[in-house]
Structures are given as C-alpha cells and as structure tokens.
C-alpha cells in the first residue's frame, strides 16, 4: 500500500471496505477494495480471489478496469479504476421522482449490454447485476463492476446451481432453486432497465416469501406511458418467466432497435472530445460483428474518427 495515498472511504461491506486512493507516482485516482481474508471462511476467500481472476481477464470500455492486486498481512487489496460519477442506484434515487429521459436510458442500457456480452462471450456469469454494481464515470460512461460472485462456466450453456445474488434482481429459476445459466443475468438486466424507467424495483414485497411469489408470477406494474413501444417490448422480453423464452445477450443485441442504439453509442465514442484512440479501437474490436451489420454506418464512424483525431494521428 506504500504506492498509494488514502483519500477517503467510499463503501463498506461484511468483509472489507472500498477506499478512494491516489497513486503517489502519477496522481491517478483509483479505488482499492480492502478485503480481510482472516474474517472469511474458505468459501468467501475463494470468492474474493476469484474476483481478481475474473477481473484480470476482462478488458472492455464498459467494465471497471482492473489495475492490480496484492496481499499484505492477511488483507487482499484489489485496485481498480475510480468511477467518479457514482453508481446507477444513486443516480436513480437522485432523480427524486423525475423520470429519466428515454434517450439516456437507451444509452446506458446499450453500454450495459455491451459489457454483459463481453462477459458472457467469455463464459462468465456475473450473477449479481444490479444498479448498485453499475458505475458511471465523470463523463457519463457506464461500467459494470463487482464480480465477487461471478462464475466461470466450462460451457456457455452449462447450468449452475448455487442460489446467489440480490433478492430484487433474482430470476424465477433462481428463487425456485432450479439450475440456471446466462439467462438469469438477462433477467437481472431487465430488472435494471425497469428500474431506470420507473425509478422503482419491478418486484417488491414486505418479506422474502411474497417477493418470491411475485418473481415467479412475473407480473410487474406497467412502465410510465411516456416511454416507447420499443422500450416496453424489450422489458417484456427480458422478463419472460421461462429462461428458454428470454433472449441471450447476443440475440438481444441483434434486434434492430438494439443495433440502432449500439450504433449511437459507438458514434458517440468517436466525437472530438470523447476518449483516447486506444479506447476507440478496443470498442471497434469488441463490437465489430455489430458494426459489420451496417457497413455504411461503419464507414461513417471510421471517417468521423479520422477527421476528429487527425491532429493526433499526424503526430
């Protein structure tokens, strides 16, 4: 920890805390999760080290960037990029009843989908997708984090059997203690999308028993009428009670409405004031299959990027 200067505590959990720190060498702000391994059982220790393993193999603009990890005197330290915009849960609460503009919802949702695609393509389940685990940078970019209970699958369609996650976001198959796969993450994604449109959880109850019943029935209050038919349709698809009827993340991204929203996100990435060149090319590599669906738009993005960054390229 001698490389870092502590600034303040920004979160705390059962086994540790999150500290905002500054790298002494270059002044870069980042977050360090301090996890007390001595207070954990073997299963929890394994989960913490698994988070390190999962994070270290994920490299995507919409996933919190892993920097390094180390252990000192019974404490595991995981260093990650700092997202100065807070989390999506806090942003939703700060709306104080004022509904989020639909364009903003689509923008956030498209970025979340791209992150989940990157995870699922690597045969990883997140297993705890919720608004508190979706972070915002100062520029408004979305980044998924907290992979503490992620599970790496041997096969994409392999079914896991451990009931885990946050109650409001649990899928019907999870609350019924049935095997589950990546479609449970898709259900949780639906819960987050619903939360952005209504500022409330889709399934709420005074106790766990009634919450489970509501989730199994899959009946939720309608979203406000100001939102479009397309948005309602996506929510309805993500909330299909049977996992077989729910789209995979790749099937969702192949839908025309999603391809349009993703193209908008990618176009924003190459504006003059956006991000560095290497981040654009990371986006390009990770989303080439979508861009290729519309070659004219792909060409337009490339030339926009070239024009806006010509002064950098010429150096």
List the catalytic residues: 128
The pair of three-digit structure tokens given for residue 295, joined into one six-digit string = 């070659």
- Closest residue by Cα to residue 30 from 100, 101, 83, 89: 83
3-class secondary-structure state, position 124:
strand
Neighbour tally for 294: CB within 10 Å: 14
**34 φ/ψ angles, rounded to the nearest 5 degrees:** -95, 115
33 labelled binding-site residue: yes
- Alpha-carbon distance values, 300 to 242, 246, 264, 266, 314 (Å): 40, 33, 12, 11, 20
Return the half-sphere exposure (C-beta side, CA atoms, 13 A cut-off) of residue 227. 22
Q: Which residues of 194-206 are buried (b: 16+ CB within 10 A; e: fewer)?
A: bbbbbbebbbeee
Residue 295: burial class (beta carbons within 10 Å; 0-12, 13-18, 19+): exposed
3-class secondary-structure state, position 70:
strand
- Closest residue by Cα to residue 197 from 91, 90, 108, 102: 102
In the block, residue with structure tokens 């999603």: 258
- Closest residue by Cα to residue 186 from 238, 138, 143: 238
Return the half-sphere exposure (C-beta side, CA atoms, 13 A cut-off) of residue 258. 22
Mark the binding-site residues for ATP, compressed into ranges.
33
Which residues make up each annotated binding site?
Answer: 33
């Amino acid at each position: 920890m001698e490389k870092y200067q502590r600034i303040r505590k920004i979160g705390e959990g059962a086994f540790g805390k999150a500290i905002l720190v500054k790298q002494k060498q270059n002044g870069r702000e980042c977050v360090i999760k301090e996890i007390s391994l001595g207070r954990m059982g073997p299963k929890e220790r394994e989960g913490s080290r698994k988070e390190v393993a999962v994070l270290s193999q994920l490299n995507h603009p919409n996933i919190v960037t892993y920097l390094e990890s180390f252990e000192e005197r019974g404490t595991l330290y995981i260093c990650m990029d700092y997202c100065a915009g807070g989390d999506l849960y806090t942003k939703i609460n700060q709306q104080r009843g004022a509904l989020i503009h639909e364009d903003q919802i689509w923008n956030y949702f498209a970025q979340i989908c791209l992150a989940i695609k990157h995870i699922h393509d690597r045969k990883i389940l997140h297993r705890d997708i919720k608004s508190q685990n979706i972070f915002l940078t100062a520029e408004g970019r979305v980044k998924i984090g907290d992979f503490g209970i992620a599970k790496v699958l041997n096969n994409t369609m392999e079914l896991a059997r451990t009931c885990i996650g946050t109650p409001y976001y649990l899928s019907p198959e999870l609350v019924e203690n049935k095997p589950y796969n990546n479609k449970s993450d898709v259900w949780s994604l639906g819960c987050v999308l619903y939360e952005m449109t209504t500022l409330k959880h889709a399934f709420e109850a005074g106790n766990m028993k009634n919450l489970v019943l509501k989730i199994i029935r899959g009946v939720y209050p309608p979203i406000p009428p100001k939102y479009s038919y397309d948005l309602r349709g996506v929510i309805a698809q993500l909330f299909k009670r049977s996992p077989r009827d729910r789209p995979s993340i790749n099937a969702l991204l192949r839908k025309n409405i999603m391809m349009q929203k993703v193209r908008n996100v990618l176009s924003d990435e190459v504006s003059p004031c956006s991000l560095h060149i290497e981040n654009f090319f990371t986006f390009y590599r990770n989303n080439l299959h979508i861009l290729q669906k519309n070659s004219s738009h792909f060409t337009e993005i490339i030339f926009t990027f070239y024009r806006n960054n010509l002064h950098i390229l010429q150096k």
